[in-house]
Amino acid sequence: MDSDKHAAQHAQGFGKRIHRWAGGKINRLLDLDATNSSASDPAEGTSTESESDHFRVRFKTPALGDASADASKPYPPTIDVENVEFLGQVHSATTYVKRDLGFQGRLGEHILLSYGDTMYSDAEYSDKWRGMVSDSVALATHDPLVVVDPALNHDGYPEQFCPLDASRGEDASEYSLGITNVVSTVEADTDLNTDRDNTGVMFFLLNHRPGGINHILGAGIATVSLDTSTYPPAPQIQRHPPPQGHHHHQQHQFWWDGEREPWYGDICALRWDEHIYAYGHGGEGNPWVYVARVPAANATQLDRYEYWNGDEWQAERLQKDSIGEKESVFWQINQGQVVYSKWFGCFIFVYCDNFMNSRVHVKTAQHPQGPWSDPPVMVYQAKPLLPGEENGCIYAAVPHPYFDESGKTLVVTFTNHPNTIQAVKVVFA
């Protein structure tokens, strides 16, 4: 029974940390885990789900998107909001940080959350400078307000997830990488139950920002995997180099030139049926958003991408100086994410716009490229955090459908200025 005692103490130790960092909900679950652990007999080779998932980071693994799903539901849907519950602020169970964004993507049984600028803090979340990274990643738990940072440095803070390349002059004092959600690259008919299915890709923007002035150099792609041999599982990433022959991109390792092409993937990415769709801003001075797609199995092959021109998909890459509204799918978008809603039987885009109005909006479409409904439906009006602000500013509204696969309710997170991620639960009528 020594192993049982050790397991119980291990779970209780996690519980004490969670209680201090993230409140009592998870702590109570971990106390239950410890009790279950003590009652089991390792000699019989039995274990419970709670014993093997103390942080509650495992989710059901539904099949990947099927383009024929819920095709019988009428379109357009009527989006009526029954009520919205404010849930609170999102914090990590394993570290103290302030950060923004929080895009969600699934690899196998786990939900990866992708963040932007991540500033190291303390138990009081003070503004004292302790360091930062330009992006980080965490695992979602079954509590919308609690996330788990699985990989911490020796000081107990998240490390940079999508890495800068010092060999190419990408110094953290002047360069940063912006990331959005991870998307799976496994076959659509896979049941997502094995370690080999924990693979995907993530789009990134390489930003040169000396003195805080942004200069987007280009957009690229990275391969992502999840090591489930450890607990919590550890995400791993590798930026994918440009194809051979793209010499003008070799210096900074990006695929799409930020000065000449849309920034594919910097809004979000979507895995649906056999394709991955990457939505991106049109670039500096262009208020439109464009979309590219690629067969998921070929996501790391630039020559397999197609680009929506407003009428059809084409192999020729769109150039910033020759595109406008016709080729676009959205206008004046801050950031958000496209997901499929079983409740409405169509795609929904949950987002914030560029008008600094602290609103969470929803658009709908029958196809990833649209056409998207207009005007949008406002589902939540956020309150400012800072005293004296009339409207405040929120950005990066993100839907989290894995909390309710039926779609009747939808957890949405957003970043409330300054650097505070909040969550609400929308109940549709």
Residue 243: predicted pLDDT: 74
* Domain total of the chain: 2
Domain-embedded: residue 5: yes
Domain assignment of residue 2, yes or no: yes
> Is residue 254 assigned to a domain?
yes
Residue 61 inside a domain? The answer is: no
Residue 347 is assigned to a structural domain of this protein: yes
User: Per the domain annotation, does 421 fall within a domain?
Assistant: yes
pLDDT at residue 66 in the model: 55
Task: Report the alpha-carbon distance of residue 180 to residue 424 in Å, rounded.
Answer: 20
Instruction: Check whether residue 135 and residue 235 sit in a common domain.
Output: yes
Same domain, 267 and 341: yes
pLDDT of residue 214: 93
The count of residues in the chain is: 429
Do residues 210 and 269 share a domain?
A: yes
- The answer to whether residue 64 sits within a structural domain is no
With CA atoms as reference, report the closest residue to 156 among 114, 194, 108, 123.
Answer: 123
Q: Based on the fold, state whether residues 17 and 153 are members of the same structural domain.
A: no
Specify the 3-state DSSP secondary structure of 197.
helix
Domain boundary among 54, 81, 99: 54
Q: CA-based angle 350:219:214, to the nearest 5?
A: 85
- 44 shares a domain with 159: no
Q: Residue 23 has what pLDDT?
A: 43
Helix axes 2-22, 24-39, angle to 10 degrees: 180
Q: Is residue 305 within 8 Å of 313, Cβ to Cβ?
A: no
Joined together, the tokens standing for residue 227 give 């090591």
On whether residue 59 sits in a domain, the answer given is: no
- CA-nearest of 206, 240, 235 to 223 is 240
Distance between CA atoms of residues 207 and 34, nearest Å: 46
Residue 47 backbone dihedrals phi, psi, to 5 degrees: -155, 155
According to the model, what pLDDT value does residue 22 have? Answer: 45
What CATH number does residue 147 fall under?
A: 2.115.10
- The answer to whether the beta carbons of residues 272 and 68 sit under 8 Å apart is no
Report the C-alpha gap between 31 and 111 in whole angstroms.
24
For residue 369, give the amino acid letter.
Q
Query: Same structural domain for residues 421 and 275?
Result: yes
Nearest to 198 by CA among 61, 293, 301: 61
Cα separation, 418 vs 105, whole angstroms: 24
Statement to judge: residues 208 and 281 lie in one domain: yes
SS3 75: coil
Q: pLDDT means per 10 residues in the chain (429 residues)?
A: 41 41 44 39 37 89 60 90 98 98 97 98 96 98 98 96 93 96 86 70 96 94 96 95 61 85 98 97 96 97 97 98 97 97 98 96 98 98 86 92 97 96 98
Residue 76 and residue 49 share a domain: no
Do 24 and 82 lie in one domain? The reply is no
Q: What is the pLDDT of residues 246-276, one digit of tens each?
A: 545 445 579 999 999 999 999 999 999 999 9
The CA-based diameter of the chain, rounded to the nearest angstrom, is: 71
Q: Are residues 129 and 5 in the same domain?
A: no
Domain residues for the domain of 197 are 71-428
Is the domain of 310 the same as that of 412? yes
Provide the terminal-to-terminal Cα distance of the chain, rounded to the nearest Å. 52
Q: What single string gives the DSSP state of each residue in 267-318? A: SEEEEETTEEEEEEE--TT--EEEEEEEEGGGTT-GGG-EEE-SSSEESSPP
Residues 78 and 37 in one domain: no
